[in-house]
Structure 1
Amino acid sequence: MGKQMTEMLKGTLEGIVLAILSVRPAYGYEITARLRDQGFSDIAEGTVYALLVRIEQKGFVDVEKVPSEKGPPRKVYSLNASGRGFLEEFWTTWSFLAERLERLQVEGGK
């Protein structure tokens, strides 16, 4: 992944993870696996875990400790009302930016 992609992801990864959690609750490794399934193969697990701490501190998710067959209980994250509100705003902002970028790309290609 190039430097430009890494920088762009920094600003959007929170919304991407919340979008994943909007589908169904998940624990850290599962979220990382879903990101990889979506083509975000270079995102380190440590990055995801640090982000999960931040979104928990911001109050965007509810956390439940679920027993694990291997090792300590897993923290399962689920999107709450505050997180849904943030995600809705994220998608509105994303749509606004995507429209303008598409327009600029089309105009620049003339």
Structure 2
Amino acid sequence: MRPSMLRLVRVRGSSMAPTLEDGDLLVVLTRGRPRPGDVVVARHRDLGLIVKRIIRIGASGSLALAGDNLLSVDSAGIGRIRPDAVLGRALFRLDRGGRPRLLPPRRSP
């Protein structure tokens, strides 16, 4: 049996506000290569699952991440992550009422 290409992930915290709110449910595509500007779900060695935006891909392939909230902790505080730590790219969100909402277009890095 083939593993699912989609995964549901609940947003915790305000690091991605105003794009995402605490409690939103993300539909995440677990295939493909995320690019700068994509909102991704990744495993962080100390923080567990995190939801951040890719802001840069380094020469070594490591990813610099940041939250959309200006007060969120970004890669300067948590360090870069390896590409294999990314679980997937968020396609859209379901708000608390279960309504699907498209994510804003990719930002220029």
Shorter-chain TM band: under 0.3
Superposition TM-score, scaled by structure 2 size: 0.28
Task: Give the helix-richer structure, 1 or 2.
Answer: 1
Superposition TM-score, scaled by structure 1 size: 0.28
Task: Give the strand-richer structure, 1 or 2.
Answer: 2
